[in-house]
Structures are given as C-alpha cells and as structure tokens.
Structure 1
C-alpha cells in the first residue's frame, strides 16, 4: 500500500517492501504504478462516499453534513494520497469516476442541509481539501488547527442575507 505520508510519490519498490512482497508481484496485480495508486485512492474515496451515504437519512441534516466534513478533513489530514487526488495530480479514469460519485454523495447531504442555494456537493468536497491545505503547514505544531478552520467554513455555508459574489 502506498505510504500515506508520501502519497503518489512513493516508489513501487517501497510499496513492495512494506507489503512484504516482490516488486514483480505488485506488477502482476497492477499493470502500472498509477493503477496501483488508483486502486488505493479509489478505496479511500469509496470510504468517504460510504461516510456521506450513511449520513443521508440523519434526523439533523446540518449535523450530518458537519460530521461528514469533519470525517473527510480528518482523513485528508493523515493521507497524502487523498491530497494528491484533491489537487488533481491523480488523473486515473477510475479515480475521476470515484470523485464524481463522491461529489454526488456530498450533494445529497447538501440538498438536505438547507445551505446557501449556490453551495454544491463538489464545493463541499473541494472546501474540505481547502481546510486541510490551509492548516497543513502548521500540522506538526498545531495538529488540530484544521478543526478551527472547518468551524469557520461551516458557518459560511448557511444562507445569509448578503448575496453571494458572482461565480468566476
């Protein structure tokens, strides 16, 4: 399995060594390093999709969305591979399809949470990565700073009397 701290930059040799198998075994199961990384990332995205879907029937939709976002940012905080996906550096078609499914699952939460009319599931997913990226430089000294940023962000998702700025 790719090193969560290194993300897509980990070598196949390192992956094989950590798994206790030979490099050839890795390539018998995955044609390329990109296919291996895609399989791992797809599993991680499926975990986030499952987390979103599990919260769709919650009695408090806003709390369910917040729980999902907290879970998502927490997963990002410990996994460089997910950050690589968020930044677009993993472009495997299976991963891109999983990203779309994640956006759809997040949209189901958004639809129930009574957020601002212009907020989408894709926005929520990208904003979760933004929260992580904003706090990442201070991860070693303030590991829970992302929670503060998520609190600030979450408040901004709800409808206000001020109109939203125009989309770019």
Structure 2
C-alpha cells in the first residue's frame, strides 16, 4: 500500500472509531469521510461497505477477546474464567455502542466481513462455557449460541437509557443463572 493510501486508511480507522463511539454503529459513512478530510471515493476504495469498515475497526478487539478466552482456558477456576470473559465481552459491547445489531446479523451471514471474527469469538466463549460445564460449574443445558445471545441481550439493555442503570444487576442475575454451585 502506498504511503498516502496507508495514511488515509489509518486516519479513516481512527476517525471511524471516534464517530462510532459518539453515534453508534449506524453512523454516517459520509460523516466519517468528512471528518477524516477525505472524499467518499477514498473511503469506499478502502472500505467498500459499512461491514468492511467495522471489520477493520473491530478486528484487533475481536482478536484480543478471543485470545483472552483462550488464556482463560488455563485458569484454575473455570467458573471464574467464564464470568471474567462474560464481563469483558459485555464491557466491549458497551464501549462500541450500537455494535450488537451488526454482530448478531454477521454471525449468521457467511458473506459478511464480520462473520469469521464473530464465529471465532463465539467459539472462544463456547470453549469457556464447555469447560465450566464439564467441571459441573455451569448449567449443562446452555449452548454457546445461547451464551452469545445473552451477551447481546445485555448489550442491548445497556444501550437503553431507561434500563442502563440496572445492567450491572442484570449481569449479576445472569451470572447466577449460568453458573451453578458445583
């Protein structure tokens, strides 16, 4: 990639991160280009659609959450490891307002630029859940897909101004429902 193209790419990612935090995942691509000081053609040369921009923006965060789950597989307490990853995953969705709808859509759409990262993230969480289940520390009837759905539900709850104050309490109730006394 040419130096000027790399500069524009990096600038678009940086500006997109700020705009998505401010306005959510449905922020205007035109606004991102304007704030980056580039034309729409430049934005579309790097990112042909919103999903590809989101994927580039979130790739490192997904990889970090996936790696975190893999490292937590080595933790002595499988229940604590699952809970820690659950809390970190919910915090991630809170930091990236509006991201949950595109993520939930992408996980079922193999054509989405976000699909592979979403599937890897869900698989990482499923591994933690399975380990806790095998130790008798998590309810055996919960699937990885359902765990991912619960994270999405909590993310949605946190985005609703009238419900956000209860989000921490709901997370605690959810953790109690997932984890067993063993």
TM range (shorter): 0.7 to 0.9
- Work out whether 1:3 is the aligned partner of 2:20: yes
Q: Retained in 1: the 8 A contact 2:90–2:155?
A: yes
Moved more, 55-64 or 40-49: 40-49
- Work out whether 1:136 is the aligned partner of 2:159: yes
2:173 equivalent in structure 1: 152
Instruction: Kindly state the Cα deviation for residue 87 of structure 1 after the two structures are TM-superposed.
Output: 4.2
Q: CA RMSD in A?
A: 2.6
Q: Retained in 2: the 8 A contact 1:56–1:64?
A: yes
Which whole-Å deviations, capped at 9, do the CAs of 1:113-154 have from their partners, x for residues lacking one? 131111122222211121222343236972xx3221111001
1:57 to 74, 77, 86: 74
Gaps of 5+ in 2: 1-15
- Work out whether 1:84 is the aligned partner of 2:101: yes
1:164 equivalent in structure 2: none
**Which structure dedicates a bigger proportion of its chain to helix?**
2
- Work out whether 1:23 is the aligned partner of 2:40: yes
Gaps of 5+ in 1: 161-168
Alpha-carbon distance in 2 for matches of 1:120, 1:133: 20
Judging changes above 3 Å, is the alpha-carbon distance between structure 1 residues 108 and 141 closer, same or farther for their aligned structure 2 residues?
A: closer
Question: How many residues matched?
Answer: 158
Moved more, 21-30 or 84-93: 84-93
* TM-score (norm. length: structure 2): 0.72
